């Protein structure tokens, strides 16, 4: 199929209008900490300032990414999952969900969802797929559950188990919006045998500089963050069967190699749970 140059130019122009390069953005800072190139000077400056407040902050991004890879591998190899709904995708980098899943099971199907125009601009990197499988991308907000599932059903068979992946995204849902109900709405619409994979930055008395870094971000960056305690993060998994080792530092969720020293704890906690 040949693209219409005028239509393509129009989409590109709309994306440029939506991308604010005068204010730091969390997805681009995350990309910077991961060593990516899809960021701007304003993001790098903010990322460096946050790292000064909390030197280990870049480790969160790496720990979260490695957690994603380990969780997807487990779900494909041990649980037989072949469908993933990844909401809050972030900018493409190494070992995206579809790359990990399709490397192990080429027939895997993945739907990505994000409302960041910069992610949309790079969506082609998320739409590569094995011939046996399929990937799709939706420019949409996590809050719009009906729209997301209606679109996902074009690629995924929602009568069969799906892994719902919510990495570092519910932190952008304030308590006044009831993020727990939002996650339940999504999981309630998925069949038994589905899984929830979720990670979230935590607040902890043992890591006071994390709170300072988040305060700095909420004063200068977008979108705003809501931190939660490890106990509050664990509440997202209420009613589901948590896999071992439970809700823990992402660096400590089934680390590899298993016989090595225990990894350093980071203030990004995550878990994986089964819907019976």
| Stronger pLDDT, 117 or 238, i.e. the higher one | 238
pTM, two decimals, is 0.86
pLDDT tens track for 170-227:
999 999 999 999 999 999 999 999 999 999 999 887 777 788 888 887 887 777 889 9
Q: What pLDDT was estimated at residue 125?
A: 74
Contact between 74 and 105 under an 8 Å Cβ cutoff? The reply is: no
Residue 104 banded pLDDT, cuts 50, 70, 90: very high
Contact between 132 and 107 under an 8 Å Cβ cutoff? The reply is: yes
- 3-state SS, one letter per residue, for 142-179: CCCHHHHHHHHCCCCCCCCCCEEEEECCHHHCCHHHCH
Residue 56 banded pLDDT, cuts 50, 70, 90: confident
Residue 98 banded pLDDT, cuts 50, 70, 90: very high
Q: Is the pLDDT of residue 10 over 50?
A: no
Q: What is the rounded CA–CA span in Å between residue 53 and residue 31?
A: 19
- Residues contacting 95, CB < 8 A, separation 6+: 65, 68, 69
pLDDT tens track for 132-176:
999 999 999 999 999 999 999 999 999 999 999 999 999 999 999
H-helix or E-strand containing 85?
strand 83-87
Q: What is the rounded CA–CA span in Å between residue 96 and residue 90?
A: 10
Residue 9 banded pLDDT, cuts 50, 70, 90: very low
Q: What pLDDT was estimated at residue 176?
A: 95
Structure tokens that stand for 132 in this block: 């046996």
């Amino acid at each position: 199929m040949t693209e219409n140059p005028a239509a393509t130019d129009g989409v590109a122009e709309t994306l440029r209008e939506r991308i604010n390069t005068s204010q730091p953005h969390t997805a681009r800072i995350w990309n910077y900490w991961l060593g990516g190139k899809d960021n701007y000077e304003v993001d790098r400056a903010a990322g460096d300032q946050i790292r000064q407040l909390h030197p280990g902050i870049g480790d969160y991004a790496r720990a979260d990414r490695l957690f994603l890879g380990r969780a997807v591998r487990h779900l494909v190899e041990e649980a037989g999952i072949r469908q993933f709904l990844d909401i809050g995708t972030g900018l493409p980098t190494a070992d995206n969900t579809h790359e990990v899943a399709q490397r192990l099971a080429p027939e895997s199907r993945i739907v990505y969802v994000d409302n960041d125009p910069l992610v949309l601009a790079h969506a082609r990197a998320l739409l590569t797929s094995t011939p046996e499988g399929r990937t799709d991308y939706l420019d949409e907000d996590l809050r719009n559950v009906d729209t997301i599932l209606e679109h996902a059903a074009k690629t995924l068979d929602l009568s069969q188990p799906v892994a719902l992946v919510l990495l570092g995204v519910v932190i952008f849902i304030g308590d006044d919006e009831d993020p727990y109900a939002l996650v339940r709405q999504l999981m309630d619409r998925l069949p038994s045998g589905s899984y929830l994979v979720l990670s979230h930055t935590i607040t902890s008395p043992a890591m006071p500089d994390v709170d300072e870094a988040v305060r700095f971000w909420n004063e200068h960056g977008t979108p705003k963050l809501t931190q939660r305690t490890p106990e509050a993060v664990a509440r997202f998994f209420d009613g589901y069967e948590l896999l071992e080792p439970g809700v823990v530092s992402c660096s400590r969720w089934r680390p590899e190699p298993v016989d090595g020293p225990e990894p350093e704890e980071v203030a990004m906690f995550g878990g994986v749970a089964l819907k019976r």
